[in-house]
Amino acid sequence: MAPQRAVQLSLKKPTYAVCVVGVETYVDVHSDVPKGAETFGVSGSPGVEVFVIYDPARVTVPTGKTHWPLDANVDVTVSVDAASKALHDLKVKVSYFGRQEAGALGHSVLYLTAVDVSLDVDTGRTGKVKRNHDDKKTWRWGPEGYGAVLLVNCDRDSVVSAGPDLTNSQLATLDDLQDMSPMVLSCDGPDSLFNTHKLVLDVPFSDSRRVGVFCARGGTSLEDYKQVLGPQRLSYEVERQPGERKISFFVEGLAFPDVDFLGLVSLSVSLVHTGTLPEVPLFTDTVAFRVAPWIMTPNTQPPLELYACSVVDSHGSNKKFLEDMSDLALKANCKLIICPQIENRNDRWIQDEMEFGYTEAPHKAFPVVFDSPRNRGLKHFPYKRILAQQVQAPVELYSDWLSVGHVDEFLSFVPTSDQKGFRLLLASPIACLKLFQQKKEEGYGEAAQFDGLRHRVNRSINEMLADSRLRRDSLYTQKCIDWNREVLKRELGLTEQDIVDIPQLFFLKGSHAEAFFPDMVNMVVLGKHLGIPKPFGPIIDGRCCLEEKVRSLLEPLGLRCIFIDDYLSYHELLGEIHCGTNVRRQPFSFKWWHMVP
Q: Which residues are catalytic?
A: 579
Contacts with 584 (C-beta within 8 Å, 6 or more apart), sequence order: 297, 303, 304, 305, 307, 356, 367
Amino acid at 247: I
Residues 6 or more apart in contact with residue 453 via CB below 8 angstroms: 536, 567
Question: Radius of gyration of the chain from Cα atoms?
Answer: 35
Q: What is the 3-state secondary structure (H, E, C) of 108-161?
A: EEEEEEEEEEEEECCCCCCCCCCCCCCCCCCCECCCCCECEEECECCCCCCCCC
What is the DSSP pairing of strand 148-150 with strand 68-69?
Answer: unpaired
Its sign, for the CA torsion 512, 515, 520, 525, is: positive
User: Residue 463: enclosing H or E segment and its boundaries?
Assistant: helix 461-466
What are the two backbone dihedrals, phi and then psi, of residue 256, each rounded to the nearest 5 degrees? Answer: -75, 155
Provide the β-strand partners of residue 525: 530
What is the rounded distance in angstroms from the CA atom of residue 557 to the CA atom of residue 414? 10
- Separation in Å, CA 249 to CA 153, 200, 396, 574: 15, 13, 42, 52
Phi, psi of 536 (to 5 degrees): 55, 50
* Ramachandran angles phi, psi of 450, nearest 5°: 70, 20
CB count, 10 Å around CB of 393?
Answer: 7
Could you give the angle at which helices 429-441 and 545-554 cross, rounded to 10 degrees? 120
> Please, what sign has the CA dihedral across residues 317, 320, 349, 506?
negative
SS3 560: strand
Residues 6+ positions from 297 with CB-CB distance below 8 Å: 356, 357, 358, 584, 585, 586, 587, 588
Calculated CA dihedral for residues 577, 321, 461, 407, nearest 10 degrees: -10
